[in-house]
Amino acid sequence: MLKTSLPARVRRFFLALLLLMTSFGAWAQCSGTVQTIPITLPSSVSVPRDLPAGAMLTDWISSPSNSALWSCTAYGVVAGSVEMIGSLSTPSGTTISWGGKTYTVWNTNLSGVGIAIAFSSYLEFGGCGFGWGGWGSATSSWGFGWGCSNANGVSPIGGRAMVALVKTSNTATLGGTISGATVLKTAPYYNGVKTALADSFVITPVTVVPMSCTTPNVNVPMGTFKTTDFPTVGSLSPGAAAPVNIQLVNCPAGTADPNSQGGQIHSVQYSITPSAGTVATNVAALSGSPSATGVGIQLFDPSGAVLPLSTPQTVSGYDGTVGGNYTIPLTARYYRTGTVTAGPANTTMTVTLSYQ
């Protein structure tokens, strides 16, 4: 066997190079400036008053897309970014679905209105070359965002966030201002260690304005009739029916917000409920004392059909793009239910309007 000896200085050189390569093979560092990144919401959001829980009050609103929040150098390590929810960290119990994923809706300072938060990260380490990753939902603790399992080289790492306002309660009265707040934090990481370079995404304040119409009280003179005007059970008061014109005044005009239910009143429904109940199907009972007996009051829609009581009906012809004033043109008659006796024949009914 032929042996070749190397000078000691050459052996030391190879040994030093070997040690340098070993330490260089699992090494990483990141640099950057800690930033606050705004998500600019509209100053006010107009929404129909009676939207159901889970309805989106805005479309998704995004921060600027910054693909280079930090610069990271990594060799042979797992590297990427992690995210967590900011100060709005209490789940509302409501979720929404978007893009095939489910997003938690977090409580804001405004009762009945929550916020869904999505994030996406950017990196381009050699061997991975991801670019922008898909949108995901963060949690209340630091969690994996977008990473490379064997990062090599120098890569910018970036991030973006987007939010949507969502109604979270069917009983809360909408209206008020959502304060500006940190909604998401993101930071680079490597080898399972989060760096201190945590950036914050902050929403601007937004006022939520419930949309509804003004509805004045209606006084309906029914007229005076004789007991003999009602010969049989089911007889209606003779002559012209009494007009019952329910007014919707100063309805706000609006523009629909794409991909949400905000921006305008899309439809109005009304339901009429007798305060004293009914004495026959869709016949309101009289109230007060003294009172006539044997009659009630029946309502009719514009076609002349009996109006179902305590049943939602859609306001025909309502146009949320123009708003303005509308009339629900009903009529009323007395209806015999039994033995008729003379006396005052009054009652009250409650009109409930729903705006969606």
Q: How confident is the model at residue 258, as a pLDDT?
A: 86
Does 19 map to a domain? Answer: no
Say whether both 156 and 87 belong to one domain.
yes
Q: How confident is the model at residue 317, as a pLDDT?
A: 95
Say whether both 204 and 127 belong to one domain.
yes
pTM confidence score: 0.85
| CATH number for position 79 | 2.60.40.1410
Domain hosting residue 38, numbered range: 29-211
Tell me whether the omega of the peptide bond preceding residue 290 falls within 30 degrees of 0, making it cis.
yes
Say whether both 38 and 168 belong to one domain.
yes
Q: How confident is the model at residue 26, as a pLDDT?
A: 64
Say whether both 67 and 131 belong to one domain.
yes
Say whether both 42 and 185 belong to one domain.
yes
Does 16 map to a domain? Answer: no
Tokens of 124: 């381009």
Say whether both 343 and 231 belong to one domain.
yes
Say whether both 294 and 341 belong to one domain.
yes
Say whether both 162 and 65 belong to one domain.
yes
Say whether both 166 and 249 belong to one domain.
no
Say whether both 165 and 240 belong to one domain.
no
Q: How confident is the model at residue 9, as a pLDDT?
A: 33
Tokens of 235: 């007889």
Say whether both 178 and 38 belong to one domain.
yes
Does 43 map to a domain? Answer: yes
Does 23 map to a domain? Answer: no
Q: Which residues of 226-262 are buried (b: 16+ CB within 10 A; e: fewer)?
A: eeebbeeeebebeeebbebebebeebbebeebeebbb
What residue ranges of the chain have pLDDT lower than 50?
A: 1-25
